[in-house]
Amino acid sequence: MTEARYSDQMNCAEVEGALDKLIATLPQPEGTKYPYDLVAIEGLTVFLAGQVPKQNGALAHVGKVGGEVSPDEAVQSARICAQQALSWFHVCAGGLHNLQRVLRITCYVAHDDSFSDISSIADGASNFLIEALSDRGRHARSVIGVKSLPRNAPVLIEMTASLKSPQPQTF
């Protein structure tokens, strides 16, 4: 075995080990009572419904960014949304080891008129995904400022990802 090939295998093993550590830290995915699918799989593409920053059945932060929610709290909220997204992918799409890569996120930020740096809020999700998944977490992104979000959440994240192998939709 050549030294370069051994190095490539070690990098792959390190990535998989880091993925196992990530899986161990993910929260339980938080569901909804509303009549829609949280995850839809078509072929090798997974579409995830919008995730608000739920933890233990409640929102981690409530209100508009620049008003009741500080920018730092909103960044934390975006990170929580991304963690929830990965939890759903892990449970419904054959595990995170089956995740080829995150393709796209859309981040909606509810903010008051005094706050305009909505991209910095979305960075909370983007940075988490890249830290957690390395190149698999790199993605295209849109950030949209809105007047309000469900349950008065400050942030909502939608995500689309690709899979390594198809999974039946059995949930």
Flag whether 96 is in a domain: yes
d(CA 33, CA 150): 13
Flag whether 168 is in a domain: no
56-112 confidence digits (pLDDT tens)? 999 999 999 999 999 999 999 999 999 999 999 999 999 999 999 999 999 999 999
Flag whether 85 is in a domain: yes
Question: What is the amino acid identity at position 134?
Answer: S
Flag whether 159 is in a domain: yes
Query: 134 phi and psi, to 5 degrees?
Result: 55, -135
Flag whether 154 is in a domain: yes
CATH of the domain at 154: 3.30.1330.40
Secondary structure of 32-70 in HEC code, one letter for each residue: CCCCCCCEEEECCEEEEEEECCEECCEECCCCCECCCEC
Structure tokens at 76: 């934390």
Running DSSP on this structure, what letter comes out for residue 105? E
- Neighbouring residues of 43: CB distance < 8 A, sequence distance ≥ 6: 166
d(CA 46, CA 127): 21
Q: Which residue has the tokens 């939608």?
A: 158
Percentage of residues in the chain having pLDDT higher than 70: 89
Residue 73, domain extent: 3-163
| 6 pLDDT more than 80 | no
Per the structure, the count of domains in the chain is 1
Query: pTM, whole model, 2 decimals?
Result: 0.89
Flag whether 62 is in a domain: yes
18-68 confidence digits (pLDDT tens)? 888 888 889 889 888 889 999 999 999 999 999 999 999 999 999 999 999
